[in-house]
Structure 1
Amino acid sequence: MRPIGDTLLKRWHAMLGLPRQSPPSWYRDRLREELRERRLAKTPWQKLSETSDVFFSSIRAQYDGFPVRKLPPFVASRHVLVYAYMLAKFTLRWKFYRTAAVICNAPHYDLVREVVNPNKDQKIEEVASRHQIDAVEFKKVGRQLRQVWPLLP
Structure 2
Amino acid sequence: MRSTGNTLLRRWHGMLGLSRQSPPSWYRDRIREELRERRTAITPWQKLSETSDVFFSISRAQYDGFPVRKLPRFVASRHTLVYAYMLAKYTLRWKFYRLAAILCNTPHYNLVREVVNPNKDHKLDEVASRHQIDIAEFRCLGRQLRRVWPLLP
Question: Is the TM value for this pair above 0.5?
Answer: yes
Question: How far apart are 1:106 and its partner, in Å?
Answer: 0.6
**How far apart are the structure 2 equivalents of 1:15 and 1:111?**
12
Q: Deviations over 1:123-143 (max 9, x none)?
A: 000000000000000001100
Question: How far apart are 1:3 and its partner, in Å?
Answer: 1.0
Q: Which amino acid aligns with 2:79?
A: H
Aligned counterpart, 2:103: 103
Q: Which amino acid aligns with 2:80?
A: V
**How far apart are the structure 1 equivalents of 2:93 and 2:17?**
13
Question: How far apart are 1:107 and its partner, in Å?
Answer: 1.1
Q: Deviations over 1:63-82 (max 9, x none)?
A: 00001111110000000000
Show structure 1 runs of 5+ residues with no match. Answer: none
1:34 aligns with 2:34: yes
**How far apart are the structure 1 equivalents of 2:2 and 2:27?**
24
1:89 aligns with 2:73: no
Aligned counterpart, 1:72: 72
TM-score, normalised relative to structure 1: 0.99
**How far apart are the structure 2 equivalents of 1:2 and 1:31?**
21
**How far apart are the structure 1 equivalents of 2:126 and 2:136?**
11
How large is the RMSD of aligned CA atoms in angstroms?
0.6
Question: How many equivalent pairs are there?
Answer: 153
Q: Which amino acid aligns with 1:74?
A: F
TM-score, normalised relative to structure 2: 0.99
**How far apart are the structure 1 equivalents of 2:4 and 2:53?**
22
Q: Which amino acid aligns with 2:27?
A: Y
Structure 1 residue runs of 4 or more that deviate by more than 2 Å after TM superposition: none
Show structure 2 runs of 5+ residues with no match. Answer: none
